[in-house]
Structures are given as C-alpha cells and as structure tokens.
Chains A and B, each alone.
Chain A
Amino acid sequence: MSLADYAGENRIRIAGIVAVVGVIVFTAAAMDLPIIDIVTVGFVERSLQAATPIALTAIGGLYAEKSGVFNIGVEGFMIFGAATAATMMWIISGGSPGQSDIWLAILASVLISLAFSIVFAILLIRYEADQIVAGLALWFIGLGFGPFMAVLVWDSRNSPSLESINDLTVPVLADIPVLGPIFFDTSPLVLFTAVLAVAAWKFLNDTRYGYWIQAAGENPEALDTAGISVTRVRYAAVIFSGVMAGLGGAVLLAQAGSFTGTGETMVSGRGWIGIVAYLFGNYNPLGAGVAALVFGGLDMLQIQLQTVGINVPNRLVNLFPYVGVIVVLTVWGSTRTPSAVGEPYESEE
C-alpha cells in the first residue's frame, strides 16, 4: 500500500485532522494568540521526544492486534521497561551512570521485557487467557512491582537523578534549517523511532511475514490452510509487542533521566495512549507515529503556553493528552478491527 493509497482510503480521517487543526488555528487567531511563538522548532523537538515512547508502544501493539491478539497489557510492559531500565542503569554503573550505561540499561530492559512477553504470550495463546482481564492484570502487576523494585534499590518509589540521554548531533545535516535541529540534533532515539516506524510499515505491507501477520488476524483459517502456523505467527507478534512496549518504557526513562514510581508511575497512561494512537492511525505504523506525535505535542504544550504568557495551572495542562484521547475516541470511534481479534485459534489438526 503506497502513501497515496493510504491517503485515499483515509480521506475522511485526514480531512478531520485538517479540520481540527484549522479550528485550533482559527480560534487562536481570533483570540489573538501568538501561534508562531507556540509552534517553535523547540516545541516540535520536544513533542517528538515525548512521542517516541508512545509511538514505539503503538507500533508493537498494532502488530499484536493485526495478528489477532489484543495486547492491552502494554501499559504494564512500559512500567516494567522503565523500572528495569532505571534499576539496571544503577546496578550496571554501580551508582554513577554515564552515557554508555544508558544503552546497556535499555538493552537489559529489552531482554527482561522479552522474558516477560514470552510468559504473557503463553498465557494468552496457549492457555487462552481472557485478553482484556489479563492485560489489565499486567498493568496492576507493573504498578505494584515497578515501584517495588525502586524501593528495593533506593528505599524510595522514586529514583535519584540518573543519567539522561544526550542529543546526537549529525555534522552537516544538523545545519539544515528547521529539519536539522528536529531530526539531526536531538535524542538519537527519535531518529531511531522514525526509522523503525517506516521499517515496521514496510515490513507489514511488503513482506511475506507481514502478510502472514495480517492473515492471522483477518482470516486465520486461510493461513492455516496455506500451511502456516497461526499460533506461531501470533506468538511472534505478541512477543514483539511486549518487547516494543518495554523498549518504549526504557526510552521514556532514558529521556527523563530518573524513575518516578508514585501515583500511576512515570508511564502514567502512555501505554493506553499508545493503543489509542494505533487505533487513530488506523493500524498503520506511520499513522500511529503521527497520532503519537499529536499526543506528544499535547503533553508538551505546557512549556509553550508558559513562554507566551498563558498561565494555565500545570496540573490541568497535564490532563490535555487524556482529554485528547477521549475526543479522538469519540470522534473517530469506529475503526475497523481485524476480524479475528480476541478469538483464540485452534488448529484442526
């Protein structure tokens, strides 16, 4: 599916986004708000950084759902990803982490997420767990054991200040106006996520395995008849989604530079927002990435409003992404889910 096809199929959706942006711009102009001052290069850069964890999680969740399994546990995986990355960074570095420790911590966190994902996938697929309840359970397990790990290591639900990832400046490219600072003088994880989104999109639509994943969700019988194991494809997709969400959590931590375990932890609903991002992006990894950017932008609006002198209390501005999710679900509620989602598949053999 080319971009043009995608645009064609989603005309209403795209028109909707354009309309919303239009209304916002119009209101802002009517109220005499300095839009140019709000949408700065710095704002786009921060929004992209805020969007990366959400986008990574969304891409994983999308693969699982495409294959016919609703992995609603991504929020829990994100919490584990962030908590293990933080504790690993501390343990590996012996208490004084540097840049290389961040990468090792992300790697360790991904490996641990892999182990958890395998167990979760077995419960969902082999033991036919109720996907919704088990996914919720994973969230609660994360809310408990994430801070638990922090207390074991630091005697507090929050970690002390660790290390956050440095910007990567690509010579020459960073000097391009606007695009330079946004993509080539920023957290390398942003660029990584952008590349991954494109790769995930190509893989899903242009490779044989990508078709298998889609068939496992749309028409598992046909895939089975073609001699491909539906179960195996689903295992791969669910494990991938868990790993991606764990990575999302680790990336969130790497950008924040410390772990927060109070309340709903530092993840604070980003996994759920990731699910909405791929619904909003109509199960297309690129669409999910753009949707994640919208939520990332809402998340970062606070600094912008402050700089132009609009004083809305932080506590309330922080709620914008959640309100945004409800608006999105209300306006674009009816997405078409793959037809076999949620149904365990039992081969005839």
Chain B
Amino acid sequence: MHFSLVYTYMEKRLNELFKKNTTKAPAALSQDIWEAVLFSRKARYKYRVYVGIGILSLSGLVPALQMLIREVTASGFFQYASLLFTSKILLSSGKELLLAIVEATPVMSIVLCLLLIILLVNSLFIIVKRKRVFAF
C-alpha cells in the first residue's frame, strides 16, 4: 500500500513537471500543416494525371509507329529517298524528286508519333521529379 501511494505520487508529480515544461508549437503550425496537406493532395492528383498521360501516350505510340511504318512503305518514300544518292537523277530532275519525296512523306503519322513521344518523355520527366519531391 505504501509503495503504491509513493508511486502514484511520483507519477503525478512527474506528469505535472513534464506538462509545465512543454515546448510550445508556433501558433500557425496547424494551419501550415493543413495547407501542406492540401498542396500535397493537389500534387498527387497532378501526379496521377501525368501517370495517366504517360500510359496513354505509351500505349498510343505503338499503333502510331506501326501506322507510320505502314504508310512510309506504301507511299514509296524509301524508294524516292534512295534516289537522292544517285547524282545523275538529282542533277537532271532534282526539283521533281524533292517534290515527290515531300508528297510521299506521311506527315500526319510523323506528327502524331512526335507528339506522343514528347508527351511520354514530358510525363516521365514530371513523374520522376514528383516522385522524388513528394515520395508518393
């Protein structure tokens, strides 16, 4: 009985002493933390959007490249382009050859592929950067 009384007294005194020596947090800290949470939440949404863009552009890139290869083959682009290395034709009808090459170039497919590559690289860059900063 005596021991438990002493122990309870000790606990009570130490509780009071620790409470009296509390280190006060800055007044605005709770608000700062809340704002940091909101900021991180926005950053996480953006991160997810970029992950989505990355996946979509990667999955779109495969058919776009297939389409590009198909169009380049079908339009005879490579045949015209190979003529560029034949000096005779280049000298006699260079202008016509260049026009034929331009005409055979699958512009839409190239633009689409480049767009998807830029999107993919850009989203990968942002994903890696955000992953490092926010550790999602």
Same complex = no
